[in-house]
Amino acid sequence: MIDSHCHLNFESIRNNFVTIIDNAKKSNITSILSINTEPDQFAEHYNLIKDYNSIYLSYGLHPEHVTNTKLISKDLISQYSKIDKVIGIGETGLDFYHSTKYKKEQYKVFEEHIEASIDYQKTNNLRVVFHCFTGSTKLKNFCLDKNYFLSLSGIITFKNANELRDIIKDVPISSILIETDSPFLSPVPLRGKLNEPSNVKFTANYLSDFFQIPLSKIVKNTDDNFYNLFTKAIKYNEIYK
């Protein structure tokens, strides 16, 4: 079972790092992808995880942090994506939730990530994941048409997520990844508490019930999808140092 998207370098996790990784191991989490959202914090993030065999990083600048002076180039992303531990690019996109002030810059930064991905994957048919999917039916269909992955978080377990459940009910398991987005979005029954990678099991269990597919098959499929998407990730049976 893999947590395909979390933020291990965020303070609340970093401060309990050894315990949290131990919890993940005990819950049979075999790999974790920790998402770097801030290039200035990459070195520290890298040092935190570098000694663990199957903890990986992505490299990117989150749109929320983009300003007219905080930008990123395709070349810089390409350079960092050569590092062994860096298996993906992002997270990226457009985020106007808090402000539209740097709209133009956000578009530019998003394009730089896409172009770096095209260079990295050496194809225009990009392998893409829509992390923490909470989109519309239209967006779901777009993802399925393009063979993009949908990553489901603890949100799927929330009482008020009926609309999301309805939208994803016909998504084939071959298109699904699972994630925690920790330290955010703790699943039921831990809502309101600090989230951590071991809790991805609640989402996996939920999906097993929801799709009426055995848990072992949910785990096997979402693991396979992860390695098909992030081809640089080496497969291990457990996390160790």
Q: How far is the CB of 196 from Zn ion (least distance, A)?
A: 14
Q: How far is the CB of 43 from Zn ion (least distance, A)?
A: 19
Which residue, 3 or 181, has its beta carbon nearer to Zn ion? 181
As given in the structure block, the two tokens for residue 40 are 């200035």
Which residue, 95 or 105, has its beta carbon nearer to Zn ion? 95
- List the interface residues with Zn ion, window 128-187 (CB under 5 A): 181
Which residue, 181 or 223, has its beta carbon nearer to Zn ion? 181
Amino acid residing at 226: F
Which residue, 168 or 185, has its beta carbon nearer to Zn ion? 185
Q: How far is the CB of 122 from Zn ion (least distance, A)?
A: 26
Q: How far is the CB of 22 from Zn ion (least distance, A)?
A: 22
Q: How far is the CB of 181 from Zn ion (least distance, A)?
A: 5
Alpha carbons 91 and 72: distance in angstroms, whole number: 13
Q: Let me know if 218 is exposed, middle or buried by CB neighbors in 10 A (0-12, 13-18, 19+).
A: buried
Tracing tokens 């947590």 back to the chain, one arrives at 3
Alpha carbons 65 and 67: distance in angstroms, whole number: 7
Q: How far is the CB of 5 from Zn ion (least distance, A)?
A: 6
- List the interface residues with Zn ion, window 181-240 (CB under 5 A): 181
Count of beta carbons in the 10 Å neighbourhood of residue 137: 12
Which residue, 38 or 119, has its beta carbon nearer to Zn ion? 38
Q: What are the residue ranges of helices labelled H in 103-214? A: 103-121, 137-146, 162-168, 200-211
Applying CB under 5 A, what is the total number of residues that bind Zn ion?
A: 1
Alpha carbons 148 and 239: distance in angstroms, whole number: 27
Alpha carbons 207 and 170: distance in angstroms, whole number: 12
Which residue, 164 or 185, has its beta carbon nearer to Zn ion? 185
- Do 117 and 88 meet the contact criterion of CB atoms below 8 Å apart? no
Name the residues that contact Zn ion, by CB under 5 A: 181
